[in-house]
Structure 1
Amino acid sequence: MANWSSQKAWLENVRSDIRNRMDRTGQYGLDDAMSDELSELSLYDNHPADIGSELFERGKDVALRDLDKLRLQEVDRALDAIDGGTYGVCAECGERIDPDRLEAYPLATLCIDCKRKDEREHPDRSRPIEEEFLTPGFGRTDLDETDNVAFDGEDSLQAVWRFNQRPGYDEEYDYLAQDDYLNDNEGIVDDVEKITNDEYKSQLP
Structure 2
Amino acid sequence: MWEEARTRLQQMHAQTEERIRTTGQYGLGDAMRDELGELSMYDNHPADIASELFERGKDVALRDGQKLRLQAIERAQQAINGGTYGTCEACGQAIGEERMTANPLATLCIDCKREDEAVHPERSRPVEEEVLWPGYGRTDMDDKDYVAFDGEDSWQAVERYNERPEYAHDYNQIPLDDNEGVVDEIDFVSNEQYRQQLP
* SS of residue matched to 1:81: helix
Which of 127, 130, 134 pairs up with 2:128? 130
How far 1:86 sits from its partner (Å)?
0.6
TM-score (norm 1): 0.65
CA distance in structure 1 between the aligned counterparts of 2:3 and 2:74, rounded to whole angstroms? 15
What corresponds to 2:156 in structure 1?
A: 158
Indicate the structure whose relative CO is greater, using CA pairs within 8 Å and at least 6 residues apart.
1
Q: Over residues 134-192 of structure 1, what are the superposed CA-to-partner deviations in whole Å (9 max), with x where a residue is unaligned? A: 446579xx7x9xxxx7x775542231345567989xxxxxxxxxxxxxxxxxxxxxxxx
**Distance of 2:12 and 2:110 partners within structure 1:** 23
Structure 1 unaligned spans of 5+: 169-205
C-alpha RMSD of the superposition: 3.3
- Select 2:53's aligned residue among 52, 55, 62: 55
Question: Partner residue of 1:10?
Answer: 8
Is 1:109 aligned to 2:107, yes or no?
yes
Quickly say closer, same or farther: Cα 1:138–1:116, change in 2 above 3 A.
Answer: closer
* Aligned counterparts of 1:117 and 1:20: Cα–Cα separation in 2: 35
* Shift of residue 132, structure 1, vs aligned partner: 2.5
* Identity %, equivalent residues: 63
Q: Which amino acid aligns with 1:125?
A: R
Matched, 1:97 2:120: no
- Given the alignment of the two structures, is residue 75 of structure 1 paired with residue 73 of structure 2, yes or no? yes
Which secondary structure does the structure 2 equivalent of 1:53 belong to?
A: helix
Distance 1:4 1:15 in 2: 16
Cα distance per residue 1:182-205 (max 9 Å; x no partner): xxxxxxxxxxxxxxxxxxxxxxxx
Structure 2: how far apart are the matches of 1:18 and 1:114?
Answer: 28
**Cα distance between partner residues in 1 of 2:107 and 2:64:** 21
Q: Distance in 2 between matches of 1:76 and 1:51?
A: 38
Q: TM-score when scaled to structure 2?
A: 0.67
Q: Give 1:100's aligned amino acid.
A: E
**What runs of 5+ residues in structure 2 fail to find an aligned partner?**
142-147, 167-199
Partners in 1 of 2:133 and 2:117 — Cα distance? 23
- Counterpart residue identity of residue 131, structure 2: F
Structure 2 residue 84 is matched with structure 1 residue 86: yes
Tell me the distance in 2 between the aligned counterparts of 1:127 and 1:164: 30
Decide which structure has greater helix share: 2
Deviation digits for residues 81-131 of structure 1 (CA, Å, limit 9, x no counterpart): 000001110011100011111011110111111111212222213421022
The structure with more radius of gyration: 2
The number of aligned residues is 162
* C-alpha contact (below 8 Å) 2:25/2:63 kept by paired residues: no
Check whether the contact 2:26–2:62 (CA below 8 A) recurs between aligned residues: yes
- Aligned 1:17-36 pairs, distance under 5 A: 17-24=15-22, 26-36=24-34
Query: How far apart in 1 are the matches of 2:88 and 2:27?
Result: 38
Higher deviation after alignment, 85-94 or 11-20: 11-20
